[in-house]
Structure 1
Amino acid sequence: MSESSDAESGIAPQSLRVPTNVSSRSRRLDGAFGHFADLVQTISNQDAITRYKTEEADNGIPIGDLTDTGQFRDAEGRTILSWEAGDKENPYNWPLWRKNVILLTTMLAVSNSTMGSALPSMAIPFIAREWGITSQIQLVLPISAYLVGYVCGPMIWGPLSEHIGRRNLSIGSFFMLTVWTLACALAPNWPALLIFRFFAGASGSAPIAIVTGIFADIYDDSVVRGRAMAWFMATTVFGPLFAPIISGFCSTSIGWRWSFWVGLMSAGATLVLVCFLPETYAPVLLSRRAAKIRKADPTVQVYSATELDPHDFRQLVTRVLTRPIRMLLTELIVTATCLYLSLVYAIFYMSFQAFPIIFQNVYGLSPGVTGLCYLPIGAGALLSLPVFFSYDYVLLNAKARGAEWAQKEEFRRVPLATLGGPLFVVSLFWLGWSARSNVPFVVPMLAGIPFGAGFMLIFMALLNYITDAYEIFAASANAAASSCRSVFAVILPLATRSMFARLGINGACSLLGGLSLVMCVIPFIFIWKGEEIRARSKFCLALREQKLEMEQRNTKLRSRRMSKAGDRERVSETKESV
């Protein structure tokens, strides 16, 4: 039969006809994906509604009967405890000095965590020599095993901190980091060292996942929270920069195990401070207050909203622990941010393989001096801080003037990444094309300044952006970002030595620079289309709707409380006149 007769008879031509089994398979796949998308959306909506109901109750704005004490009663007559105006136990109302102590403690905790990631960097040749390790891939494993722990840990610590609180997880995980660092110092063989490194990474990843949630707990002002995040992010860079210096000088003088002994001393001293870290998660604090009231008077029925919300294992698995994965798979903002941060983060960890190739092989520097070559990266990271604070000042002035651009969410943080991205790209081409024997080693070393500045600006901008976008689920969004970038940081460094051997220093750095150039368009897209992306984000939409409803009920609550207060005042005046 010809094509024309096929067409006339209403039958698709043979060349265009889709086999029945393929068509039905396609429909089944579409149906499966549609069902999965609906399921994910249902869970996300329930997640947002449940969390904001708890938030409303904690702030005294649930739907219910207002009592004379300003609290609410549910249908069963139980009093639901909430924060009162100006409540000193509310983390938002804590004094500035206490918040600064928390900030300093979290900075020290994360610096120990990130220092641990690169602690054996310059010691690996000495470790390999002791145990006869010759495989080039295995030489990367002491760092990669730690980063595999960074992949697994945040997916548990982040959402779990939004379920049971911050303090106990912070102390327990940091204590285990200290224990596993001790185990690395005493490791009897290569496999044991790798296992201990994995558990150290899984424990040490907790601050990266939890601290953003702590900042959301204690800072209600996004500007102040952003500045705290900037200081916190700066310390995440300095940890890995100190590690090569420590391992470089220890390994050549007193032995590679002393790299871990020094890390243990630092972690032990910090653990003392971490043990004094207070609980900052409002639902947990209110639950403790309610339990204390019931203990003092067993007849009262006072509960926090969290206590009345059922917490079962099914909810923990389906809603809480899957939250970072759902965000990563369904939220374009989280996905794009994770991809960009993952590449930048992986390149940073590739430098622990690349710097010895450049500064030891080309320039003949010792491991200790090669470790010092990382210091310009730290200088660049410090230079990014005044840029961050200056932009904050410009933005606040623009808002005060009523500038239209300053009112847009994307302009709060993202422009910093549009500056950091090109700086990062320039640094890679600078490093690759200046690293040659006839050029002083200081020249490629100084490429670390734009590298560190670009790295920090990208991270500060995008992590703050997703923190502001997902607010009460900031820890889960950051857990997704942390785990995703750690996957890249595990995989890409495995190819570093072979890539530099095949492409040369200039070719390898140019390849990484080119990939970074492609990725650095992401912040520009956020500025251009970010509002539309957030408008199409069902998770952001659910959060926004719940927040709006909470604010509307809060307005009604204020008027009801003012009305009751006015009634009590009139009754009091009447009694006095009588």
Structure 2
Amino acid sequence: MVDSPGGESIDTTVREELGTGTFEKGEEGTSTLKLDLDDHPKSLPLARKWVAVLVICSAALCVACTSSIAAPAEAGESRDFGVSKEVSILGVSLFISGLGVGPLLLGPLSEFYGRNPVYWVSYSLFWIFSWPVAFAPNIGVFLVFRFATGFLGAAFLSVAGGSVSDLFSDEEVGNPMAVYTISPFIGPVVGPLISGFINQNLNWRWTYRIQLIWAFFELVALILFVPETYEPILVKRKAARIRKEAGKHIPSPLELDDKRVLHSIIVSCYKPFQLLAYERMALLLDLWNALVLGILYLAFQAFPIIFEKGHGFDVQATGMSFLGIGLGMILALGSQPYWNRFYARQHRKYEGKTPPEAHLLIGMPGGVLVSLGLYWIAFTTFNGVHWILPILGSIPFGTGILYVFTSTFTYLVTAYRPIAASAMAGNSAFRSAFAAGFPLFADQMYARLGTVGATALLAGLTTLMAPLPFIFYRYGAAIRSQSKFAVS
């Protein structure tokens, strides 16, 4: 017999079965199992981890593209279904609404059943429910299943980030997390680009048929190349194997936890809004994020006004006008090595105890670039100005978007670490509400104010929010010290 670290005597045969596994003292004298180092997801080969990350990112990209591919198809949908353009815009708005609601349910489920079951089930249903969208006989069916597919696709906004952090250590996670972060935001930009070519040359229904094909290959790749990464589930599986082969009752921490799925879902539904109600930092940062994402989705209605009506673009060329925003995001991603080195210096400066406010530093240029890009677009939309100038103005706008979200996401997770999932769920719900609502009034706003006035108004709103990272960098620690949710 050998002694475990918790003090129990464990059969040598069981210890051999566990390899280098260790035990911790559990409830009522039981011994709880920990995962072997060699079995840990972080111990996978680097190439294997990056394949999994890229598959997850491409699946998230597919979902994000699906949110915006409906925009260039709106004219065909309005014609075939006999509805107004405002009704066809709901195809975008309802999908985004589903993306906002989905994390409240799908996030807690991953804590009980693991990452992969949530991926497989949600993405399978996402693919299945995309069929009624592609072959909808009327607008009612089309809109109902657009919401359903958005809801199911939300797993890649609420769970996928956890998979990336499961695979990499804190020192290594910067680059893969940056690659994942860009996927949900560059996806809406790529959507009109793809859909513009389709709707220029084919029937609008091919927009969703091609998306169906893409989603099918993503589902196969998820099953084949993404391992389970959630450590409590892996420990639970190991405990079950030991019980079966060695006859010893070795409980896992997840089995000792008395949490229930329904209770966790209820908490997931009210905790984010409780945080927004009591935390002015979370509320204001979420409002900033919501405004920026709302403007991005409003651009799917504004760019056709600017480029089709103002410069005579066709649908295909209008889709390509979003390349400026996409290029800006890629430039932001390319700057990630600089920010990694910057935060490494911050880590050394604070001797490993970097305050959450340090993560707001990247948001400072982000807020400035968002406003600068919008002002640039606003004052170059005159018909006599060459069309390349507003597209060039959208480049700093795209860079700023990624900086703003990277800053805010990281800050919320570190400042509200004990309830990080709720902080991110509240952010997602707020963002999705604005992204769903903004496209609905774009036509009326641009008709009343003109392209210059409407875009300048949006730029002015972002200018009002741009000081937030500067303010919270200076006063965030003092505010956190008085909070009942944030870490002090």
TM-score normalised by structure 2 residue count: 0.91
Contact 1:358 1:435 in 2 (8 A): yes
Displacement of 1:314 in angstroms is 5.6
CA offset at residue 205 of structure 1? Answer: 1.3
Rounded Cα–Cα distance in structure 2 between residues aligned with 1:445 and 1:471 = 39
Q: Secondary structure at the match of 1:440?
A: coil
**Does the aligned pair in 1 maintain the 2:104–2:268 contact within 8 Å?**
no
CA distance in 1, matches of 2:369, 2:399: 7
Partners of 2:423 and 2:175 in 1: CA distance: 19
1:467 is aligned to 2:408: no
| TM-fit CA distance, 1:458 | 0.6
Q: Does structure 2 conserve the Cα–Cα contact (< 8 Å) formed by 1:167 and 1:278?
A: yes
Query: Any gaps of 5 or more consecutive residues in structure 2?
Result: 16-21
Structure 2 SS opposite 1:72 = strand
**Which residue pairs with 2:448 in the alignment?**
502
Aligned AA (1:386): G
Residue number in structure 2 paired with 1:83: 35
Once structures 1 and 2 are overlaid, which stretch shifts more, 483-492 or 312-321?
312-321
Name 1:435's counterpart in structure 2. Answer: 381
Pick closer, same or farther for the CA change 1:384–1:351 going to 2, 3 Å.
Answer: same
Number of positions where the alignment pairs a residue of Structure 1 with one of Structure 2 = 474
Aligned residue for 1:354?
302
Question: Using the alignment, how far apart are the partners of 2:78 and 2:230 within structure 1?
Answer: 45
User: 1:518 Cα shift?
Assistant: 0.9
CA deviations on 1:280-335 (whole Å, 9 max, x unpaired) are: 1111111111111112234x111001101223356334445444333333344432
Q: Which residue type is aligned with residue 155 of structure 2?
A: A
Residue in structure 1 matched with residue 107 of structure 2 by the alignment: 158
Q: What aligned pairs does 1:534-573 form with structure 2 within 5 A after superposition?
A: 534-541=480-487
From 168, 190, 197, the counterpart of 1:242: 190
SS of match in other structure, 2:70: coil
Equivalent runs, 1:394-543 vs 2, <5 Å? 394-397=342-345, 399-400=347-348, 402=349, 408-410=354-356, 412-471=358-417, 473-541=419-487
Residue 540 of structure 1 aligns to a residue in which SS? Answer: coil
Q: Secondary structure at the match of 2:172?
A: helix
In structure 2, the partner of 1:104 is: 54
State the secondary structure of the residue aligned to 1:413: helix
Q: Is the Cα contact below 8 Å between 2:114 and 2:233 reproduced in 1?
A: yes
- The corresponding residue for 2:161 is 212
The alpha-carbon distance between structure 1 residues 403 and 199, as it changes in their structure 2 partners (threshold 3 A), is: closer
Structure 1 window deviating more from structure 2 (374-383 vs 302-311): it is 302-311
| Cα distance per residue 1:445-486 (max 9 Å; x no partner) | 111101110111111111122233344654433222112100
Letter in 2 for 1:324: P
Residue in 1 aligned with 2:23? 71
Partner of 1:122: 72
> 1:75, 1:117 → 2: CA distance?
47
Note if contact 1:73-1:80 (Cα within 8 Å) is conserved in structure 2: yes
Question: 1:67 and 1:429, CA in 2 relative to 1: closer, same or farther beyond 3 A?
Answer: farther
Q: Is the 8 A contact 1:229 1:460 kept in 2?
A: no
2:176 is aligned with 1:228: yes
C-alpha change, 1:161 and 1:325, in structure 2 (3 Å) is: farther
- Alignment partner of 1:371 is 2:314: no
Contact (CA 8 Å) 1:212, 1:475: kept in 2 or not? no
The residue that corresponds to 1:279 in the other structure is 228
Measure, in 1, the Cα distance between the counterparts of 2:400 and 2:355.
22
Cα distance, 1:269 vs structure 2: 1.0
Shift of 1:359: 0.3
Cα pair distance change 1:76/1:194, threshold 3 Å: same
Instruction: Return the offset for 1:81.
Output: 0.8
What is the alpha-carbon distance in structure 1 between the residues aligned to residue 203 and residue 81 of structure 2?
14
| Deviation readout 1:355-375 (Å, 9 max, x if unpaired) | 001000111100000000001
SS in 2 for 1:302: coil
Structure 1 residues 134-186: Cα deviation after superposition (integer angstroms, max 9, x where no partner):
2x421321100101111211111123323332111111111111112222111
Structure 1 portions without partners, runs of 5+: 1-59, 545-578
Query: Deviation string for 1:394-451 (max 9, x for gaps)?
Result: 3324554x479x9642454211110011110011111111111111111111111011
Q: Secondary structure at the match of 1:434?
A: coil
CA-CA distance at 1:238 after TM superposition: 2.6
TM-score under structure 1 length normalisation: 0.78
Cα distance in 2 between the residues matched to 1:309 and 1:161: 15
Shift of 1:115: 0.2
CA contact (8 A) 2:360 2:411 kept: yes
Is the 1:131–1:190 contact (alpha carbons within 8 Å) kept by the matching residues of 2?
A: yes
**Alpha-carbon distance in structure 2 between the residues aligned to 1:111 and 1:312:** 32
1:49 corresponds to: none
Indicate whether 1:149 and 2:133 are aligned: no
* Structure 1 counterpart of 2:216, one-letter code: G
Match of 1:261 in 2: 209
Contact 1:410 1:465 in 2 (8 A): yes
